[in-house]
Structure 1
Amino acid sequence: MKKRILAGLLATLLCAALSGCGGGSENGSTPGAQSSSGSASPTATATSITVGIAQDLDESLDPHLTVSAGTREVMFNVFEGLVKPTPDGDLIDAVAKSHEVSDGGTVYTFTLRDGVKFHNGAAVTADDVVWSIQRCADTGKGTAPLVEAFSNIRSVEATDEKTVVITLGVSDNEFLAALTTAILPAYSDQQSTAPVGTGPFKFVSRTIGDSIVLERFDDYWGEKPSLETVTFKIFESGDALVLALQSGAVDLCAHLTPTQAAQLGDSFTVLDGTMNLVQALYLNNAVKPLNDVRVRQALCYAVDKQQVIDLASDGTGKALGSSMYPAFTKYFDDSLTNYYTQNVEKAKSLLAEAGYPNGFDLTITVPSNYQPHIDTAQVLVEQLKAVGVNAEIELVDWNTWVSRVYTDREYQSTVVGVDASSMTARAMLERFTSTYGKNFINYNNADYDALFQEAQLVTAANDGQEQTALYKQMERNLTENAANVYLQDLGDLVAIRSDLTGYQFYPIYVMDLSGVKAG
């Protein structure tokens, strides 16, 4: 259905846009959850639900080794750090009862909460906290820390059974957010297959390629979930996912497209938020012809991002101009959103100047289990034709995408969404520094690297205004050098069985089920 909609609209709207008459629409209202197929009959109980997800989790469930956002999204329910995020974007104490920061911003003192237990029944100790932080600060293999912000740690010690003191080399305005890093039992070696945390749900089982089962942790220190069991069921086919929702086999599912949401019956409520990620046509800056900034800029001028939002996302996304999304309010630079506006002639001129007067062939590698990214790629293919770029979509399964694109960087371009692993601007921008292990676009810009290093050395003075300004300069650097073709923060449509309440959106890419309940 979506393909037919795209095919019909592309011909009309692309023609209008290229003749100067195309315009984006305002964001629409939440799509209705009505369908001629009728209502699904809920099969879940009030205390057990099934959640549909589009991909399997990482091979390892160890939270310190997580690669994909989809794994963090699910396992957010299992793990906690000294602090944890709230739906409002604040950080509150979790495993810690309280914390203090020294006047110079380099010494963090945490008092642990009484009664916090791991899912294996053991009480959390200061030694567990020290071990968890040290593990992420030093891999012991001469490689980068598992949590980059921890490279600034000079010492971490338990001064008594309930107190942990962390001393930094220099003040870091965003360091507290890094302490959402999961606290694990000291010297645990089974986290890959049998993860143990302190969160409101505990891990029960996993069937590779099929499902993950979580169960309420009755010894949880905080408010206990209403749900007793949550089964995450994997659907790598969008059509199969919709059928499962319609049949009542799935009770909740996030990241639906407007077309998918419109096919559901009135037994579902569709909630409307944003995904809190940066969707872009990500470019491998190290391969020809994308290693030429003029070619990358030409691709930016070839694209009408509002049209992408209207056609692929039914107007629900928020246009972006760099690697930051609006939930990071003080860091988000909306002036970059329209840095490039569609200009076919300018795009052609830049391509000719770079030695490609007749355009070139471009492969867009897209994970086949993410319909929003597929729909976006289809629109881009049509837009790029106008400047002579012959783009074709290569669909690959998620594991192939991770290994070939993200890890090995053997690709030309890809459409995906990049999120923040924690509520820090650093998490969004560090990935494009030249020496960072997760710099999958191979961006290599000395000025960008220098700005990042400077941002890490500034003090906490002026409420971080100096650091904020530096991060915005980094965003502008990415935009001006067309590191990627930035598109949107995708709208996030969440279908939830109509008798369930309590689902909340976060400013980061997580799915918190601790508040979901019947009634």
Structure 2
Amino acid sequence: MPLTRSKRALAPRAFRFGFACLAALGCGLTAPSAFGQAARAATDGQIISPTLLAQHRGGTLRLVASASGGTLDPQINYTAKYINLFAVVYDGLTTFKKVPGPDGNTVVADLAENLPTPQDGGLTYVFTLRPDIRFSNGKTLTTADVTASIRRIFKVGSPTAGSFYSAIVGAEACLKTPATCTLKGGLEEDPARRTVTFHLTQPDTEFLQKLAFTHAVIVPAETPDHDSGNVPIPSTGPYAITAYDPNKFLTLGRNPAFRQWSAEAQPEGYPDAIAYTFGIPDEAAVTAVENGQYDWMADAIPMDRLGELGSRYTAQTYVMPHAAMYFLPMNVNLPPFNVQKARQAVNYAVNRKAMVIFYGGPGIARPLCGMLPSSLPAATDFCFYTKEASPSAPAQTWHSPDLEKARQLVKESGTSGQKVTLITANTSIDLAMGTWIRDMLQAIGYQATLRPLSSSVAFNYMQNSSNKVQIALKDWSADYPSPSNFLDDLLGCENFHPNSDSSINIPGFCNKQIQTLMDRAKTDVSLTQQQTEALWRQADRLVMEQAPIAPLIEKDTVLITSPRLGNFFYTTVNQVFFSQVWVQ
């Protein structure tokens, strides 16, 4: 559905004068108060039961997005657009409990019968597979599928191979030469007993959570050791991918081989099919969901539509908590941001209040000074880069930008006048923020340009060092609720892979002192929770002193559903859990 002429014409003009207007915050743009007050902030999702299933089973759940999410390979794809969808398609040895509310952070057994108790001081985990589970192609799940799938994580260059699974014995060799990966000494299987044993080089306090993440799902042993691209891989969940055209659609149908083995791990689904349509811009998608043409949209809701949701569509609108942020990764290996003072200048110059407004207002976003959103343990509790503050004398919260300090740092860095290109996705929110940031870069002394890319390719493009991205605008959310998902994932030495689309350390940052702190927080089982959180806070402060990233805002998730969608079911890890909503 096309945009109206007025919205399409007015938005770019507003973005162009954004810097001058928002720097002073005097142009009258405020968050829609009705939205913050009226939008629903809780879910009443009901767990599946035979009675509910009989009443609501059937129909097609209709999803919409401006672009597809890329590869169908679950061990490679790292976009929320597909990872949350894969949660009803694939299974791992463990998973997160499929319930609304905080209990959704709990790890439970999935393809394994039970959660194993760590042995040998946290170095050994023995999993026993559930019997008689089949893939969607009819093949029975075996221990060989499990060991082949774990090796495949390294062979296909999964984005989290280093950060999540490097503690497995043999992983170091696999990271160096993926094609010959065997994980020798790290995996043992006993087909007769249906057991798979993992041996670790050091304890990993989050190992069960990492096995619950999508990149560790179990696929058939014969799956090729390369990106499957547009070809779906057989699955064990209640749905299987039946058709895909990355330019037009993605279709899921019921997996004929599925049987429910654990309602808390992988419940049977209500819809008979899930149909994803691509190519509908975010503005048009909002209208289409409001009117019931689609049931849910993947893209962030543009700021100029939030007011109407809060005043006219409150029964269909939800504001849900999720550990997520927007940030500016800066390439520490390329001018001008290979100079620390240039990176610090950007942190001082960013008007985080303006970014809050662009996202939708203080009801759904807040300024963020460090790497850890407030919903996480060890959340950031300092602010270096705000007026009248510094790394040696931080403030407690962000107050305002300091353009004078930023301009001075640019001059001191010797980078004034250099050309800078900012990469963003081409969604409404990213374009609005990106245009403002481009103007800000110009105001502090750079020759800045903005280069928007399709949201289906922007993230991969930012990650690949061959593209020589100097600075980018990106959003990020937790794979599971831990500080490691923000500090180690985004800035860990093991997550920088030159010339690869799977290099989530976009700045190419590696600091041995910080890495040592993060590694201890992840592996030292003798630490109390308070001691572990203290290590993450220390790492957060050291990271922000080096400033490879400029955090902008932490954000809640704003969702709109169609009038016919029932049993809104939101989990803290997978967000809307598509198998448990009703469309019938």
Same fold (TM over 0.5): yes
- The answer to whether the aligner puts 1:451 opposite 2:451 as a matched pair is no
- The answer to whether the aligner puts 1:107 opposite 2:117 as a matched pair is no
- The answer to whether the aligner puts 1:66 opposite 2:77 as a matched pair is yes
Alignment of 1:101-140 (within 5 A): 101-102=117-118, 104-136=121-153, 138-139=154-155
Q: Answer yes or no: is the 8 Å Cα contact 1:313–1:491 preserved in 2.
A: no
The one of 393, 402, 405 aligned to 1:343: 402
2:579 alignment partner, SS class = coil
Deviations 1:446-483 (A, max 9, x none): 32233334445x42123454443323222222211111
- The answer to whether the aligner puts 1:304 opposite 2:361 as a matched pair is no
Deviations 1:10-54 (A, max 9, x none): 654423579xx9999999616769xxxxxxxxxxx9621210123
- The answer to whether the aligner puts 1:373 opposite 2:430 as a matched pair is yes
State the alpha-carbon separation in 2 of the partners of residues 494 and 305 from structure 1: 23
Alignment of 1:8-87 (within 5 A): 11-16=20-25, 29=36, 47-59=59-71, 61-86=72-97, 87=100
Alignment of 1:58-207 (within 5 A): 58-59=70-71, 61-86=72-97, 87=100, 88=102, 89-102=105-118, 104-136=121-153, 138-139=154-155, 146=161, 148-154=163-169, 155-159=186-190, 160-180=192-212, 181-189=216-224, 192=229, 193-207=231-245
Deviations 1:291-347 (A, max 9, x none): 1111111111111212210244233213222333334x2132233486564112211
Matched to 1:411, the amino acid is V
Alignment of 1:246-395 (within 5 A): 248-254=292-298, 255-262=300-307, 266=313, 269-274=316-321, 276-315=323-362, 316-327=364-375, 329-336=376-383, 341-356=400-415, 360-368=418-426, 370-395=427-452
By how many angstroms is 1:167 displaced? 2.2
Higher strand proportion (structure 1 or 2) = 1
Matched to 2:372, the amino acid is M
Q: Answer yes or no: is the 8 Å Cα contact 2:112–2:129 preserved in 1.
A: yes
Q: Answer yes or no: is the 8 Å Cα contact 2:135–2:234 preserved in 1.
A: yes
By how many angstroms is 1:273 displaced? 2.0
Q: Answer yes or no: is the 8 Å Cα contact 2:303–2:429 preserved in 1.
A: no
Of residues 217-226 and 487-496 in structure 1, the stretch that sits farther from structure 2 once superposed is 217-226
State TM-score, norm by structure 2.
Answer: 0.76
Q: Answer yes or no: is the 8 Å Cα contact 1:283–1:483 preserved in 2.
A: yes
1:118 alignment partner, SS class = coil
Matched to 2:210, the amino acid is A
State the alpha-carbon separation in 2 of the partners of residues 8 and 100 from structure 1: 58
Q: Answer yes or no: is the 8 Å Cα contact 2:403–2:444 preserved in 1.
A: yes
Distance 1:399-1:228 versus aligned 2 partners, 3 A rule:
closer
Distance 1:62-1:514 versus aligned 2 partners, 3 A rule:
same
The one of 426, 433, 445 aligned to 2:484: 426
Matched to 2:347, the amino acid is C
Matched to 2:64, the amino acid is G
Q: Answer yes or no: is the 8 Å Cα contact 2:95–2:108 preserved in 1.
A: yes
State the alpha-carbon separation in 2 of the partners of residues 279 and 144 from structure 1: 20
State TM-score, norm by structure 1.
Answer: 0.85
Distance 1:424-1:164 versus aligned 2 partners, 3 A rule:
farther
Partner residue in 2 for 1:515: 580
Partner residue in 1 for 2:44: none
Q: Answer yes or no: is the 8 Å Cα contact 2:34–2:307 preserved in 1.
A: no
Distance 1:504-1:372 versus aligned 2 partners, 3 A rule:
farther
Q: Answer yes or no: is the 8 Å Cα contact 1:31–1:258 preserved in 2.
A: no
Q: Answer yes or no: is the 8 Å Cα contact 1:245–1:251 preserved in 2.
A: yes
- The answer to whether the aligner puts 1:233 opposite 2:292 as a matched pair is no
1:84 alignment partner, SS class = strand
The one of 247, 250, 261 aligned to 1:209: 247
Q: Answer yes or no: is the 8 Å Cα contact 1:126–1:164 preserved in 2.
A: yes
State the alpha-carbon separation in 2 of the partners of residues 267 and 304 from structure 1: 30
Matched to 2:77, the amino acid is T
1:196 alignment partner, SS class = coil
Q: How many residues align?
A: 499
1:63 alignment partner, SS class = coil
Distance 1:372-1:220 versus aligned 2 partners, 3 A rule:
farther
Q: Answer yes or no: is the 8 Å Cα contact 1:257–1:493 preserved in 2.
A: no
- CA RMSD, 1 decimal: 3.5
By how many angstroms is 1:208 displaced? 2.1
Structure 2 residue ranges without an equivalent (≥5):
1-6, 41-56, 170-185, 387-393, 498-502
State the alpha-carbon separation in 1 of the partners of residues 159 and 64 from structure 2: 35
How high is the sequence identity, in percent, across the aligned residues? Answer: 19
Q: Answer yes or no: is the 8 Å Cα contact 1:242–1:263 preserved in 2.
A: no
Matched to 2:444, the amino acid is V
Distance 1:12-1:289 versus aligned 2 partners, 3 A rule:
closer
By how many angstroms is 1:366 displaced? 1.0
Structure 1 residue ranges without an equivalent (≥5):
34-44
2:515 alignment partner, SS class = helix
State the alpha-carbon separation in 1 of the partners of residues 552 and 12 from structure 2: 20
Matched to 1:419, the amino acid is S
1:452 alignment partner, SS class = helix
By how many angstroms is 1:511 displaced? 4.3
State the alpha-carbon separation in 2 of the partners of residues 374 and 508 from structure 1: 27
State the alpha-carbon separation in 2 of the partners of residues 336 and 504 from structure 1: 36
